Structure 1
């Protein structure tokens, strides 16, 4: 039931902040600003040096329980290439796992521990395989290689597939992705680039608020 509840929360929130940085401290700052701006689902990628430190700190500060809104956020681990990385991410407090590609062993491990896993896919064959392995949400990646109409095409033969585009999603096209059937979207560099360039991380909160506003408008 815990996994089902988390999946419901992920899709209800609808926007996932995919965070990369030079240090764990930088990523924690980005995450805190994104959460303050309204994005409550945070994916810390394993490309960040000492990423587990950031995940652990955020997981201790925030909880996936909605009983305390001031501390509510769902922290996950991304760029997971193998089950070993997934497991250490989970042990560090990650509530969900995201990969850039379809790795059956990673999916098996996450299913064992009842942790939502979202592997990256590019083809109908990969999506079908993910469904057969028990995946609930697939990550269409890199999203900038596709148009929002791709989701409608996918749902022709696979209407049961839950698709989350990541990469290339912007304020300009978010509504198109949602209206085409995306269950959520992953937001990467567009959320943080300006803040990193200027050193003003409050810009992350401002951009996060814009994304949440755009998402809610798209959902009606």
Structure 2
């Protein structure tokens, strides 16, 4: 069986989606009301991209609620922690514009390609980055980013200059600049946003770049 290939349009989609700001929020397990509240606060401050990890029925409800609200602003919401083709289909049903995974799965990539949804696979080694490129994927999620370290991303940019990294895992307003300066294209902030000061601090970082 031949490997699934991501279309140039999928890579171009991420190029465009992340062009406005090098930041994304990950709203994991926050419920519907809190997810809407934090998303709208971020959108108002210029942080456009939001991901809802799909790990429960409540998460699916949050995504279904958030997707049309984002569309009203000309924005979109992605679905994260997609581990199998069923997750891809659920993400599509809930209105996700893109899917994100913690690792690289041929089956998940193929399901996303079949449904025409841009997919962001996770990588943590040069071998996984190379495999993603062989599938036509140029945008990848470096996870767990804080454990890998900013220098890892700088080193990977050497042999893989065409790859665009979304740093995820342990990211916050306190270390985002370090990773962006190391060549990361986007920093995705998750659990840190439980601190009310994080979103304004991220917006301030955004304004300064």
Report the TM range for the smaller structure's normalisation: 0.7 to 0.9
- Assess, with a 3 A threshold, how the Cα gap between structure 1 residues 12 and 96 changes in structure 2: closer, same or farther: same
TM-score with structure 1 setting the length: 0.83
> Aligned residue for 2:4?
none
- Contact between 1:11 and 1:184, CA under 8 Å: does it hold in 2? no
- Per-residue displacement from partner, 1:134-192 (whole Å, max 9, x unpaired)? 2231111111212212112101211111111111222222111111111111101111x
Could you tell me how far 1:111 is from its partner in structure 2? 2.0
In the alignment, the residues of structure 2 paired with residue 207 and residue 172 of structure 1 have an alpha-carbon distance, to the nearest angstrom, of 9
CA distance in 2, matches of 1:151, 1:82: 27
8 Å contact kept, 2:153–2:184: yes
Q: What stretches of structure 2 of length at least 5 have no aligned partner?
A: 1-7
Partner of 1:200: none
Q: 1:144 and 2:146 equivalent?
A: yes
Is the 2:143–2:167 Cα contact (8 Å) retained in structure 1?
Answer: yes
Q: Is the 8 A contact 2:101 2:121 kept in 1?
A: yes
- Partners of 1:132 and 1:2 lie apart in 2 by 16
RMSD: 2.0
Q: What residue is the counterpart of 1:134 in the other structure?
A: 136
2:187 counterpart residue number: 185
CA separation in 2, counterparts of 1:172 and 1:212? 12
Give the whole-Å Cα distance in 1 for the aligned partners of 2:15 and 2:91. 18
Given the alignment of the two structures, is residue 45 of structure 1 paired with residue 36 of structure 2, yes or no? Answer: no
**Structure 1: runs of 5 or more not aligned:** 195-202
CA distance, structure 1, for counterparts of residue 34 and residue 203 of structure 2 = 22
Task: After TM superposition, list the pairs within 5 Å mapping 1:155-194 onto structure 2.
Answer: 155-191=157-193, 193-194=194-195
User: Conserved in 1, the CA contact under 8 Å of 2:53 and 2:80?
Assistant: yes
TM norm structure 2: 0.87
For 2:3, the equivalent position in structure 1 comes to none
* 1:188-210 CA distance string (max 9 Å, x none): 1111x23xxxxxxxx3xx53232
